[in-house]
């Protein structure tokens, strides 16, 4: 359960760096769904929550504007893995409603979950960054806000699921990989159609012998 909780939060951070951090802080501060150990309690500090919420508001707007979303993805290449590492590290040693032996899974090597979380978030971020140009190209940019809103929604739901019912994290991961595979196939097909159109155009302009 600890591993799945951390994995779910790290995956969520790959879509939006601040939603899982905010979920951890708010739920730890105002509910009993998750209890952070002493070395992670700074995440539930009021100022931390306020700063993360402000960063989330900026990210929420920037990720929904074509071209700006690409620049944002470049910046987030460094932010999202960091957030994923923090989320995984905090969750792996926290007590949640589904964990009876908190911290035992990673207690001997506390740096491991941070590295794993960062790697997971970086991978998910890469998938997101690769799929966004496909969406923008096929929808003339109008799909950017829709895709971003869906990603934010998945990030929020996945953060809650990872804390409350982490076994469902596997289902979300499978769904994300299937969606990414579909987008990549669509990108390949669109590229082939463009190449075919260019070839046909060149044939049409070729002078007759």
Which bin fits 2, alpha (ψ -120 to 50), beta or left (φ > 0)?
A: alpha
pTM equals 0.68
pLDDT band at 9 (very low <50, low <70, confident <90, very high): confident
Q: How far apart are CA 84 and CA 75, in angstroms?
A: 15
User: In the chain, what are the domain boundaries?
Assistant: 2-205
- For residue 96, the model assigns a pLDDT of 65
pLDDT band at 175 (very low <50, low <70, confident <90, very high): confident
- For residue 79, the model assigns a pLDDT of 85
Q: Where are the alpha helices (DSSP H) in the chain?
A: 2-15, 18-30, 46-62, 68-92, 111-138, 143-164, 169-205
104-158: per-residue pLDDT in tens? 555 555 556 667 666 777 777 677 766 666 666 666 666 677 877 888 888 888 8
Longest dimension (CA), the chain: 82
- For residue 77, the model assigns a pLDDT of 81
Question: Over 60: is that where the pLDDT of 205 sits?
Answer: no
33-86: per-residue pLDDT in tens? 888 888 888 899 999 999 999 999 988 888 887 778 778 878 888 888 888 888
């Amino acid at each position: 359960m600890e591993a799945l909780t951390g994995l779910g939060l790290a995956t969520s951070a790959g879509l939006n760096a601040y939603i899982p951090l905010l979920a951890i802080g708010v739920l730890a501060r105002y509910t009993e769904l998750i209890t952070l150990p002493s070395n992670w309690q700074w995440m539930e500090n009021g100022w931390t929550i306020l700063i993360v919420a402000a960063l989330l508001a900026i990210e929420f707007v920037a990720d929904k504007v074509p071209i700006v979303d690409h620049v944002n993805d470049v910046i987030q290449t460094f932010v999202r893995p960091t957030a994923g590492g923090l989320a995984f590290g905090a969750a792996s040693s926290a007590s949640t409603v589904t964990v009876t032996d908190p911290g035992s899974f990673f207690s001997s090597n506390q740096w491991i979950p941070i590295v794993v979380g960062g790697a997971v978030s970086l991978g998910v971020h890469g998938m997101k960054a690769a799929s966004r140009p496909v969406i923008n190209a096929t929808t003339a940019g109008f799909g950017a806000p829709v895709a971003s809103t869906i990603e934010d929604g998945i990030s929020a739901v996945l953060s809650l699921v990872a804390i409350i019912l982490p076994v469902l994290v596997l289902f979300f991961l499978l769904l994300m990989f299937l969606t990414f595979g579909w987008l990549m196939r669509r990108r390949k097909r669109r590229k082939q159609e463009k190449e075919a159109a260019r070839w046909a155009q060149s044939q049409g302009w070729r002078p007759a012998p």
